[in-house]
Chain A
Amino acid sequence: MSETKRRPGIGRRRFLLGMLAGTAGLCIYGGVRASRAHERSVPELGDIEGALKPNAYVTVTTDDRIILACDKQEMGQGTSTGYAMLAAEELVVPVERVEIYFPDSSSKFGTMGTGGSGSIVQGFVPIREVAAATRMMLVSAAAQQWGVDASALRAENGSVIDDASGRSARYGELVAVARTLPVPQEPTLKSREQFRVIGTPARRVDNHAKVTGAATFGLDITVPNMAKAAMIHPPRQGATVTSIDSDEAKQQPGVVDVVVTERGVGVVAERYWQAVRAARLVKIEWTAGDMPEFTSESLRAEMAASPRERARNALDEGDVDKAEGALHEAVYEVPYLAHAPMEPLNAIAHITDEGCEIWTGSQGPTGVQDAVALALGLERGAVLVHTPFLGGAFGRRSHPEAVLDAVWLSKAVGRPVQVIWTREDDMRSGRYRPQAWARITGRLDGAGAVTSLTFDTISQSIMAEIGGLLGSLMPNAIPPRMRAWLGRNSARLVGSNAVVADFIATEGATHLGYAIPNRRVTYMPIKAPVSVSWWRSVGFSINTFVVESFLDELAHAAEQDPYQFRRKMLGESPRWLGVLDAVAELSGWGTRELPPGTARGIAVAHAFGSYCAEVIEARIDDGQIKVTKVYAALDCGLALNPDLVESQIEGSVIFGLTAALWGEITVDKGVVQQGNFDDYRMMRMHETPEIVSKLVEGAPEPGGVGEPAVAPLAPALANAIFTLTGERLRRMPLQAEYARRAAASPKTS
């Protein structure tokens, strides 16, 4: 397990995700639940007449096809390849023999959702179990046919083999008999030494579809009689339509209707380009919205000035008030951030007499079911959600706003409607990583040891806004409105700080491996008219920046090497130390001279069950921060596919550096100022540093991979800039902050 100094509230989010896994686990072997009687479904890839289908996941056909339902959504992280590998391992076939599909929403899979870097962690045992059970049935079928003991047989490359007699039978030939056999309830799994697929750099199962243009994303789906829609969202959150003139728009070619919905105005046409053009002709007046004078700049001041009476301890160890040593103190700030997945949000809704059918790339199909059911007054099972590939997500696709746009428009025009958000909709219509403010203090004793660390933060609570997801964790037996009410209120309760501090808002500050005897972490929520969400690495993307930058400040104050300074405090945290030492060695910390004008910074984090340390080398070119090299050491325990783990590190580095250098969403008088890639800058090919990664295996089970490597990037970069220039950048994005400092102090190079 993870090693952290006494951690009250350890991994409550992981507990929540564990619940997701648990519900899925319960359903793996079971038959049809009573509640599924009323569940809508249509035939899927794995539903094949005469095939062996002993569980919801695996299908083996008489013509030797092996088909696996991947109940996690594929947004690029590689889970579908991982699940194919897990199944291939226990079915003893090459990975490419496993055909993957993404099943429709169904209680067979419990609550369906993907996040928290949890898919491989959650599926590592269950997916192997369903595959092993299937293999055991095929082996038993052969044993029965040949009149031998199953233990004398082995499975190999899609066949069952009897070494004694030389007989063999393909899986397909055994399906008919295997179908009649009982499903093993406790399948035996291969031991580590027997793995032949797990741990190999297998090719992605979705490569071919994704290089030929054949991969189907939500945007690519067409259903019969479907209309297309462009949205005109309110310019300010909470604004509604007071008057609308759509006469001219309605007369444009192809326009079906212009509809005022709960979240704006939809322009429905036969073709999307017709809808977009007509939308420009609609004249709308809006109400002022929730807080028409709100600016993200004034929120900074409000956060800094907020009295902390409502703050609640997320952690309180030792006694920070009695700690001795010289006091150091700093304030750090981060801005709102958009996710900006390459595929703008989109969804198709088709309302019929039986319920509603949805096609959308969502991270939470069950949450979509619930949101739609609530909007239309249906039961969860009356909503059927189809999930294609997701064109990026990073947390944004956890929320069903585009789906609801489509639902209301389909209801209004009586046809299936596909809503496609423009890039500007995507960037301006909500869900951001929260803006945050944190004051951090530490005391250094005479020997340069840290005797205390306090961390006081303020931000909007993400928890307060995920009532829908909490509701979707609840069983079908609870009526939809009750689930929604319970979800909403439990989320608000956490978000209000009344019972516990929001653990997401403080993650990255609470669970540290450092031996610091006195520590306190407090959180206080603040309200703002901007909807917030998970954003790749979530609280760590904020708090690791603060903690790891400040430890660097303390190291310099103590006149110690930042690596050695951390190292001394990690004696009882071997996995923290393991990645820190690994990245120091990898980067030549203290042993390799850097070219003049280049400096390095280091940072480490423990997130999503894994440990990651990074060293960044950077320089300043013409006032611009230039990252030249990134070294990353990741301990994710067992790496199911080391090549895909490394690709997640590379992606995390680029995603994290983009945010650290340039990422900022600002709001002025309630209006989001950024709209497209010209004012919300993305890292591009020529700006990408060389990335060198190393995997450390500190545990036999897998940890999360998609997010941990984002966390240490910003502080490692800020630490490098300090060493390089003497400027301590305490506010992200770092390029803008560096430019402000350089302007104020001409000496800065």
Chain B
Amino acid sequence: MKLKVNEEEREVDVPEDVPLLWVLREELGLNGTKFGCGRALCGACTVHVDGAPKRACVTAVGDVAGQAITTIEGLGDEAQLHALQQAWMEHNVPQCGYCQPGQLMMAAALLRSKPEPTDADIDAVMAGSICRCGTYPRIRKAIHAAAKARTGAPKGGTP
């Protein structure tokens, strides 16, 4: 089966009903996408499929073959981190850090649909992502800061 992950073509040999999460982690060595609950309850495994957020733990790999899959490893690059990643660092958001790839992918999807989200927009989208360390107040601040940084910046750049 052919997968398009972070703009690279990858070939995997697994049954179509295997969860995308475990294909990313065990077949492709992309460990940034995390296992938290296995039932789409916590958001730690969030990736983008054709730009929309998906819970990789309940997404059959066969359903996303050929579509553009983006993981945390593909959100920004070394030379140019995503504005959210920058803001996350500036606000000292992470604690244990385990849920943060999922939080960032969810926030990136939010900013794509709402470049200047209100608190209510943030609540609506980020409510699905659990952080047991309790970094929500900083996530909120960092999303606002990233939105401001991006809308103030020239158009284009990382997705």
Contacts and interface: CB of A to CB of B under 8 A. Distances in A.
B101 interface: yes
B134 A342 contact: no
B140 A652 contact: no
Contact of B100 (A210, A423, A651): A210
Q: Which of A213, A650, A653 is packed against the most chain B CB atoms within 10 Å?
A: A213
B26 A273 contact: yes
A201 B137 CA distance: 17
A211 B90 CA distance: 11
Contacts of B30: 213
A647 interface: yes
B95 A77 contact: yes
B31 A213 contact: yes
Q: Which of B18, B19, B38, B96 is packed against the most chain A CB atoms within 10 Å?
A: B96
Nearest to B84: A211
Contacts of B136: 654, 683-685, 688
Interface of A: 74-78, 201, 203-204, 206-217, 219-220, 222, 228, 271-273, 340-344, 389-394, 420, 422-423, 643-644, 647, 650-655, 676-678, 682-686, 688, 690-691
B123 A651 contact: no
Interface in B1-60: 18-19, 22, 25-26, 29-39, 41-42, 44
A76 to B, nearest CB: 3
Contact of B71 (A213, A217, A678): A213
A207 B94 contact: yes
Interface string B70-95: 01110110000100010011101111
B85 A391 contact: no
Interface of B: 18-19, 22, 25-26, 29-39, 41-42, 44, 71-73, 75-76, 81, 85, 88-90, 92-101, 104, 122-124, 126-140
Contacts of A74: 96
A340 B98 CA distance: 13
Contacts, number: 174
B135 A647 contact: yes
B81 A653 contact: no
Given A206-B94, A682-B130, A676 B41 contact: yes
A423 B37 contact: yes
A688 B137 contact: yes
Given A211-B89, A678-B39, A653 B134 contact: yes
B74 to A, nearest CB: 9
A223 to B, nearest CB: 13
Q: Which of A77, A212, A676 is packed against the most chain B CB atoms within 10 Å?
A: A212
Contacts of B44: 342
Contacts of A685: 122-123, 126-127, 129, 136, 139-140
Contacts of B26: 228, 271-273
A644 to B, nearest CB: 7
B51 to A, nearest CB: 18
Contact of B134 (A422, A652, A686): A652
A78 B89 CA distance: 14
Given A76-B94, A206-B94, A211-B89, 11 more contacts: A76-B95, A207-B93, A215-B97, A272-B26, A343-B34, A391-B34, A393-B96, A651-B135, A678-B41, A684-B128, A688-B137
B92 A203 contact: yes
Given A420-B35, A423-B37, A691-B137, A342 B130 contact: yes
B153 to A, nearest CB: 19
- Closest 6 A/B residue pairs (Cβ): A213-B32, A654-B134, A76-B96, A391-B98, A210-B97, A76-B95
A653 B134 CA distance: 8
Contacts of B42: 342, 677, 682
